[in-house]
Structures are given as structure tokens and as C-alpha cells.
Structure 1
Amino acid sequence: MPRLSSDPNLSICPDYAEESIDEDQAIIILRNIWLTGNNADKAQWQNQVEEDAEHCQHLERLHEEERERQDQDHIDEDEAAHKEDRKKNKFKYTSIPSLDVPMKPVIIPSAYAICKLDKGGYVELWYFTNAGLDDAKLKSSVDEDAMAMEDASWPDDRITMMAKFWRNLQVHDFHSMRNPLAQKSLLVYQAEQRKCWHMAVKTAAGAYDLSRINEILLERMRNDIYLEERKKQDNQHDYKVSARNPYSIH
């Protein structure tokens, strides 16, 4: 059945009496014919309105189902990416035990030596000597520190630990001292301990709570910095003396 172009409920019956029809019977017949057609058009219009509404609801349901499917796809993709990240970077998700900062940092060979060992390859003995281990310590780097922790999807306990670590450094007595060597010791401490922590996580020693400031190590750090600064000043003094008196003997 063809669609109606206008609502028959709004149609008005023409006045057949003005069409030069004299007989009342003819007027009644024509009126009835119009009413019958109009009623049929009303019924068709109502069916048409209901069909259009049902079609719109069907399309809306399809759109909603598609949105739900896309949302679920995104959730599944995020979960799969998270599982893959945990698989590839298992050390990033290591839980943080309630342990103090160790007195001695974990010493491990270079990443090159460890990789060769994992593959069963030959590794020169030098990498396990004091010189090789010292070289590995100097060249070690922490890739995760180059990224924002939340953007890198760090676990909440690790983010909390790092936040407490920086907060404890900010409120430490050394931070408010006017002695620049005390403040420098905090800077050196945080740099070395963050590096040691990341190295320890990947070893059998495991992780610990970095936010617990090791006061003994910090005091040792300040003493070392003080001795280094004193040695530097002594060297500068000796240089000035020798410059004034090139024939002096030290």
C-alpha cells in the first residue's frame, strides 16, 4: 500500500451542497463515500505511524547494541594489552613488601652479560670482576623513570611508594638545613637509591619499600660528600700555595 503524503485526520469534508446537488440523498451518499475513504486513510495513517515508530525503535536498539559491542571490544582490547604488558614487564608489577632499604645495594652484572647468560652464550670473566661490576653500575639506566608512572600503568602500590619517597625527602631535616652539603646528600641519595631499587626488583633479592629513608646510608652519604668537598678545597689550597711559591715542597 503506498504511503500517505498527509495526515487524513486533518482533512475536511467538502460541502457537497454547494456543488449544485439538489437532492438530499445524493449529498448523504457522497458524504458517506468520503467518510468511508477518510476512515480508511486514518487507519492506514495510524498503521504507518506505528510502523515508523517501531522502525525507529529497532534502529535505536541496533545502534545501542553496536555501541555496547564497541565498548566491550575496547574493554577486551585494554584487558588483553594489560595482560600482555604484565607478561612482558613482570617486574613492573612486583608487589611492594614492607621492608627497609637494605644497607648494601644489589650488585648485578651488566644487561649484556645477563642476556648472554640467558641465551647460554659465552660471557667473558671480566664482566664478573670488580671492574666489570663497577662498569655495569655506572652504565645502568632505568627506562621507567623516563615516563610518567600513571601513563606507564604502574600499579597503585608502586605509585604510592614513590609518592611517599619524594614526600619523605621533602620533609627530611636535611632539606631545611642551610648547609648545602646536607641538601646535596639528599639529591645523591635519591638518585642512587632509586637506581638500586629498580635493579633489586629484577633480582632474587626482590623489592622493598623505597619510601623508608635509610638514615644510616644518608648519613654516610653526607660524610662522603663532606670528605670529597674537603679534599677538593685542600687541593685548591695546595694549588694556590704552589702557584705563589713554585719552589715549595709538599
Structure 2
Amino acid sequence: MALVVDPNLEMVPDFAGNLYAGIRADLEAATNQTEDEVITRLTETWNADHDARVAEWNRNRDEEARVLAEAERVHTTQENEARTQQEAEAEKERLEVEKKKPKMNSFDHASSVGDFLTPRPAQYAIQKLTNFEYVELWYFSPEGCKDALKSSRSVADNDLSITRTDDQLTLRPTSAFKASKAATADHELSFSIFLRAKNLFLVQISKAKWPQPNIDALSLFFWHLENHPIQNNSDIGDMVILTYASRVRQDWHDCLKHDEGFNIGNINENLIRTINEELWDKVRSRTWNTMPATVFPRTPVTHSHGCLHT
């Protein structure tokens, strides 16, 4: 049975006092001892019992102290672990926020702006390149860059749209998602504008971090077309090259999306000849249709496939 009162606070009873006179007389008669011997015996017996109870009390207090200390240690350990985990999670969240936070790069204090500023295409075109998507070369022509500058001045500051970037919703100018109404297809450009536009296009895809093999293939693609002999051997050579460039570049992007990419830098001469014949057929058809009926009577033309390709 656990002790509830500290025995260290107890005092030895006065066995020589009147309270214990009867007990002394009984013990004297029973043991044939003197009164002093009985008092000594009673005192020694009480002291022995008292010492045992004090020892038990101290053991219990030591055990309680040990249990409390262990519980405190476990509690402190749990608190430290919880705090460490919270701090780690908070640091992780801080690093994630810091990683997604826009950063401004430093600069060379000894440098200055260059002698020539590269024209800036529309945000729509830049966004297309960032997503590795097809976009018309017109956006990189002088006319396209002027149109972009004009549009950026006319767009209201609050004309924004929501987009998802890195699993976060962000606001971007609506102009970044709208194609220009003035944009034209590659094959509708003049050959000189085509050459100027492709130069800025190559610069911009490099800035957009396109894979270097893809950039190299496109550079070779444009070089071959710019120097293709059909331009000197045909009255419609420029038109053939522009049509080939327009169709093949679009097809290249489509194939890349389906993981069926090909080397666009390898020019397919058979396809160029096919396009050349197709365009000559159109030229001859237009010439035929504009001739007076008295010179070349018109007769119906039957096509084996039941449709007329234009």
C-alpha cells in the first residue's frame, strides 16, 4: 500500500510518558523486563519500522521522479520533433515560393545599350515560341513588329486573361493569346520580307530556349531555301520556295507533336518539283480562263477524283 504521508515528518513517540504507562506495565509483566528496558525496546521497534517506511517513501518518490522525468523527456522530444518538422515544412514552402517568384537578373556596370535594337514581335508570337508551337513568320517581319507595337499601345492595362503556369493561375495581357487580324500566311509574304522575317524568327527561337538541334535544322532549312536554284530557273521560283516553306514548317510542327519528327533541314526536291508543277498548273489555268472565248473555246474539264484541287 502506497504511503500518503511523508514519514520523515514523524517524531518518535514518548514511550516514557503517561500515554504508554499501561503498555509498559503489561510488557514489564510479560517479558520480566524493567521499565527502562521496555521503553528502549519500544523505541527501537518504532525506529526500525520508521526507517523502513522512510526507505519505502524515498523509493516511491525516486520512482515518481523518474517517471515524471521520462515523461518530460518524451514530451520535450516530441515538441522538438514537431517544431523541427514545422520549420522544415515552412522552409520548403519558402523555397517553393522563392523558386516561383520572378527574379531580376544582374547586369554589367561597364556595359551600355547596343547600337541596334532587335525588333520585338507580338506577345502572342513570343508565347507561341515559348510553347514550341507553330507561328506565322509574318509576326517577325517589319510589318508584324510594327503591328505589335501599335497593338501594345492600344491595349488597356486591365485587359487581362487568366492562364496556368507551373500549376499556378496567373494574369497575362489578352494580347498574348490573340492572333493579329493583319497576320498573313508564309506563302503570301514577298520573298524579301520572308528572308527578313526568318532572321528575327531564328533569333527569337534561340531566346525561347528551343533545343539547339531544332534551331540548327531550321537554320539549314532556311539557308537551303534562300539559295535554292529554282529561284533562277523559274519565273515562279520565289512562290515555289514560299509555298514549300509554309507547308513543310507547319507539317514539321505537327509531326513533332506526334513524336514523328523529321529533319526539316533536309530539302525534299521531289516535293519542290510537285509544288512547282502545281503552281504552274494554277498559272496556266488562270491564263486559260482570261483568254477570249473566241480564241480558246471553253470546254468542261473532268477530274478523275471528282474534285478540283486549287
- Per the TM superposition, whether the score is higher than 0.5 is no
Q: State the structure with bigger RCO (CA 8 A, min sep 6), 1 or 2.
A: 1
Higher helix share: 1
Q: Report the TM-score when normalising by structure 1.
A: 0.44
Q: Looking at CA atoms only, which structure, 1 or 2, has the larger radius of gyration?
A: 2
